[in-house]
Structure formats: structure tokens, C-alpha cells
Chain A
Amino acid sequence: MSAPFVIAVPAKGRLQENAEAFFARAGLKLVKPRGARDYRGEIADLPGVEVAYLSAAEITQLLAQGTVHFGVTGEDLVREMIPDADAKVSLIDALGFGHANVVVAVPQAWIDVHGMADLDDVATAFRLKHERKMRVATKYVNLTRNFFSAHGVTDYRIVESSGATEGAPAAGTAELIVDITTTGATLAANALKVIDDGVILRSQANLVAARKASWGAGERETARIMLDRIAAEERARAFREVRARFPGCDDALLKEARERFGVAAPLGGPTSSGMLTLHCPPARVHALASFLRDKGAAEVTVTDIDYVFARDNALYAKLEAALRG
């Protein structure tokens, strides 16, 4: 393998911490052999992989160009920054952090505005009354345009805003905004409210693959190994291992447990001595433990699982499909 496999990871803040923790859980420890201030790193036991620490916006651009293979970035940036995004990148896996909604927010004082249909009407009335169009402050120019267009809203102008967007209506530089929010607290503090059907995108950090990167056999193998570990860790995290052994343990009981608790039996049905190993969703563990004891189990042990390596790798299958398409 001549050129390295490059994975781009956010260079600072919570996103970086969360991304590193995510990879570490999957047994992909990101290390910086040349010191913590370096913007290049490696993966501890996976040679030939280069980790590039960049801003989320840069990562998104490099993914679109195909100059990195994998990247961790928010779906909001992917949808905003990459025209025809699905042709250039593939969202392989939602990572469960970096949650943020891209929303349309208007002043709370607009008691006559609840839905996008109201906003549409207000926009037209505003133009007729003021001889100018309503201004929308946002850094999500493309998301805004597509969303407004889908709702038939045409009487508006976009004012590009790169920071403190939520202050624009109070400052008089815009009538409303499109911005990201996690808790809504900043919007409320600026006397803004989210429009009922005004959630443009529920975004979170994603592991994204660049379809236009060079994907030779070596790169694919590296990707397969990484995705295998990630899938194994995610599957493990979604289950607890529940074990019991008792005479009444039979196939009928397993069938009932599957139906009631959504368990899987990774090692097959009960052995002749009534030994059973189940994978159970964490929320159902206590109910399952009670059920098994009711059926005669003297003890039920529950343990966390580190990895579940399966023959099928859904994440890698997704990548292969994207590279074929």
C-alpha cells in the first residue's frame, strides 16, 4: 500500500473528545506519536492509517473531494456544504453524539405564526407591506433554500451570518433565523421560538465515507477492519449478555423470551443440560431476569459485552454498496 488510508477527525473540543472515545471503544486507539500538538496521528495497532485532525468544515470539504477516505463530521455540514451529497459521500454510521437540530426560528412575539404555512403567508404580506423581502439570517444557506422552497416560501432573502445568528432579529439585521439548536435555551434567551414544522434536519456526528477517494484493495481491507471493529462494538453496546442454566430451559421458553424481550441467542438454543446464553437489550434485562427465575432458574448472570463480531458486517456492506453505486 503506497498512499495511506486517511481518516479525518475533528481537531478540537467536544467533537474531538467524543470521536476519540468512540474509536477507542471500538479498539481503534488514535495516537499522536509526534506529540499532542501534532495535527497528524495514527491508529495504535492498524498500520497504514493516517489520522488527520481538521475542522469539521474542512473534513466535509475533503470528503466531497475524495482526498480523505473516512471522516467524522455532522450531517448538517454534509447536507449544507456538499451539493448532491449522496453522490459524493455515504453516511456509514450515525455516532450518537454531536446532536443538533437545524431549525427555523421566529420572534416569540409573532403570535400569529405557528407553522411554515403561516410563515409563507407572513412573508408575502411583509413584502406587500414593506416593499422588501423578509430577511433570514443563517449560515445554512443551502438547507434554508431547499427547505423554504419545499414549503413554497419564496418571499425571503438570505442574510449570511457566521456567528451569533440568534441575535440577528433583535439587532434588526434579519426578521428570522435558521440555526442549530441543541436545547433551545439560546433561542429562548433571544426571545425566539421554533416553528412547529420548522425542523429542517435532526443532525448528529456521522462516520462518512468519501465515494470519490481512491478505493483499491488495500484501502478496502483497511476500511473493512475498521468497520468490523466499529460494528462489533456497536452491537455489543446494544446488548447485555444474560446466562442461566436450569432444567426447564427449552426451545419453547426461548421462543417466548424472543417474543417478549427481543433477545437473541447467539450460541444457539439451550444445551442438553439447560445452559442458555442470551443477548438482551439493556432496557429489558431486569424483566428477562425475573422471567427466567419464574421459569426455574436459580441464578441469572448478566454481563456487559465488549464486542460481538459477526460474520456479516452491515457497515462494510453499506460502504461496498456506496462504492458500487
Chain B
Amino acid sequence: MTSARTTQRPDAPAPDARAQALVASFERAGYARANPAILQPAEPFLDLSGEDIRKRMFLTTDPHGRELCLRPDLTIPVSCDYLASPAAGKPGGFCYLGTVFRHRSEEPSEFLQAGVESFGRADIAAADAEMLALGLEATGHYGIAAPDIRIGDVGLFAALVGALDLPAAWKRRLIKDFNHKSSLVQDLDRLTISAAHARPEYQGVLAALARSDLKGARALVTDLLSIAGISAVGGRSVGEIADRFLEQAALGAQTTLPKETRALIERFLTIASDPDEGAAELRAFARDAKLKLDAALDLFESRAGFLAARGVDVTRIQFSTAFGRGVDYYTGFVFELHDPGARAAGQLVAGGRYDGLLTRLGSTKAIPAVGFAAWIERLAACGSAT
């Protein structure tokens, strides 16, 4: 496992003693050292992180035509190795220190990351809090005593959308777009003006279908598609097409998001303060709006409690309901630690909960997961010399 790194090029960013000491402290905290291969199949990264990552990846092809890449992060390789091991499914924690490769214009494309991944722990709130606490140890290790702590919770937004009285189409869109702030604002706009997108010539048919019973309408649309000689084209079945066509019909009557619903979402997204105040505001918000967000809020408050118990000064944490990390596999708690002087090109430490990832990597059962990564060169540049 470790011999792979012994023939390192002299000009590669050799993990220095300080970084080794950091990852050793993770090992002492109970996380086993992982050393995934540098050359990885490209598929999982493209599939899970989205095509946008392709332009930042170093891709190559093996003689059999399989697409490979230099690992652009370590979360997915550590997850894959865990799933392939006999320990898969059991609680397990791993730490790492190694080179990752991403095209970056302002910084070198080959750089070091240290991090921790925790799999299979059922005590969600405590595991979340432990990740942030370990992240703070990393900044502390480099002499950055009081980094900016920014946190969010994708689960809160999911709970809000789940509780809203909205058609399924809008719910899945809002959830998807939460991580892409610009398109979420566009969505809110489109929700109120979506009639502009609809096809006028279909409106009559859609309106008629919307009033008919769903089963009959589905049979009609399916038959029409079959008459046209269409069975399954492009991976979508005729039934799927018919279903969504009718879903559009149902939306037709409701082309605009009710003003109150939009106002609710907007009000929700403006809530930003420290976690304790934020929780109180969210409770008040849920009460006013008569929305049931209890489970998500209980988790949120419990996490804040575990953070306080770990000695984190909760009043220093900047919580925002709108904070996401732009990575679509996060499902719950997300956080970033920044240099208070903003001297780094980006976050020093970042992480979050990604409960869906292991299933998407092939696990047959759901495995909760949470972790973070630390940018070693940035920490070293921003930290004190000792």
C-alpha cells in the first residue's frame, strides 16, 4: 500500500513533516491511513461530480479504451476502496494525505490534500460535529487559531421543499438547483413566469388531459406514441414520456408558483446567523409558515450541541440556509473554513455529509458518510511558521 509513493519525483510536492504530523493526529483519533491509487477510473468522478469537473481533470485512456484520470480528489477513491474491502458496510473511518490533480489557473494543478472520511456511523449529528472539529484541528495545526467557519445544511432545504405544497417537477428541480445558486434564483423566476416557456398549441390538449383521469390519459398518450411507431427511444420508455407529458398537463393549471410559496422560499434563504440563533429563527419560520421541519431542525440543533460539547465556540460559526458547496453529492451538513485575512485562493478546509454517494458507487445498502479535505499548501501559506 505504501510502497507506491517511494519513487516520488523530487519536484513533486513532498508531504512535509508538518503535514505528516497532521495526518498522524487523525490516525490517533481513530482513522486508519488510506493510500488509494493515483490513477483512477474516470467514470465515478464524472458521474458523481458532474461533467463540469471534466475540464479540470487530467484524463487518459488505457489500451482497452477505458477512461482513466489522475485522481482529482480523494473522497471517491477512499470510498471505492472501502466498498471493495471486507469492511464495506461496517462503520469505518479513514484518513489520507496525498497529491490530487486539477487544472487550476491561479495555483499549481498538482497539490496536496489531507482529509478524513467516516462511513457507516448512525450517530449523524455527532459524526458531523466531529468532522468540523477535526477540520478546526487542521487549521489549528498550522497556527490559524480563528478561521472563518461557514456552515450550511442541505437537509434543511430538502425538508423545506418536502414540506411545501408543490408539484413533483418543481420539487426535484429546486433540490437539484440548491447547489447552483445562480440557477436557483432563475428557477424562482421561472416558477412565476413559466407560462412563457409553455407551447401555446399544446395548451388546449394539456388542459383537457389535466381534467381527465390519469390512467385513461396515460393509456391514450401511450397509444398515440405506439401508433407513431415509437417504442423506446433514447433510453426513456413510452410510459415515462407519457407520465411527464401528463405531469406538464397538471402543471399547466399551475404555471406560476403562488406568491406566498415563493416568498416563503426567499425568506427561508435569507436566514443567516450563528447556529443557535439560526435554529430559533427557523423554528419561528416553520411555526409561522405552518411547515413541519422538526426532524431536520432537531438534527441541526443536536449537531450544534455536539459542536459546543467539543469546545467549538458556536457563536463564531457563520450559518446560512443558502450555503451549499456546489457539489451535488452533499446531502446534509456542509462546511468550509477560510483564512480570516482571505489570503488563500479558496477554502482551507471543506467537507460535508454525502449519504447518497456510496449507493451511487454501487453499495446495495445505504451507508451514511461524512468527511472533509484540507488544502495543505494553502494552510502552510496562511499559517504561522511554527
Which residues of A come within 8 Å of B, CB atoms?
A: 83, 106-112, 114-115, 117-118, 120-122, 124-126, 128-135, 141-142, 144-145, 148-149, 152, 154-158, 169-170, 172, 174-176, 191
Contact = CB atoms under 8 A, between A and B. Distances in A.
A72 B76 CA distance: 44
B230 A109 contact: yes
Interface of B is mostly: helix
Given A111-B241, A154-B50, A145 B55 contact: yes
Interface stretch (B169-177, B277-285, B330-338, B370-378): B169-177
A131 B362 CA distance: 10
Given A106-B234, A152-B177, A152-B180, A145 B54 contact: yes
B259 interface: no
B245 A157 contact: no
A149 B360 CA distance: 22
B9 interface: no
B81 to A, nearest CB: 22
A176 B234 contact: yes
Interface residues of B, number: 38
A258 B235 CA distance: 59
Contacts of B328: 154
Contacts of B55: 83, 142, 145
Given A131-B360, A149-B52, A109 B190 contact: no
A144 B176 CA distance: 19
Nearest to A141: B54
Nearest to A128: B172
19 contacts: A83-B55, A110-B233, A110-B236, A110-B241, A114-B197, A117-B190, A117-B197, A121-B173, A125-B169, A125-B244, A135-B235, A145-B54, A149-B51, A155-B176, A158-B54, A169-B233, A175-B235, A175-B236, A191-B233
Contacts, number: 103
3 interchain residue pairs of minimum CB distance: A152-B183, A107-B233, A169-B234
A109 B241 contact: yes
Interface string B160-180: 000000000100110011001
Interface of A is mostly: mixed
Nearest to A156: B51
Given A129-B240, A175-B236, A158 B51 contact: yes
Nearest to B235: A175
Nearest to A176: B234
B234 A107 contact: yes
Give the interface centre of A121, A126, A148 by most chain B CB atoms within 10 Å: A121
A172 B235 contact: yes
Interface string B323-346: 000001000000000000000000
B51 A148 contact: yes
B248 interface: yes
Interface string B223-248: 00100101001111010110011011
A307 B245 CA distance: 58
Nearest to A145: B51
A109 B47 contact: no
Interface string B188-231: 00100010010100000000000000000000010001001010
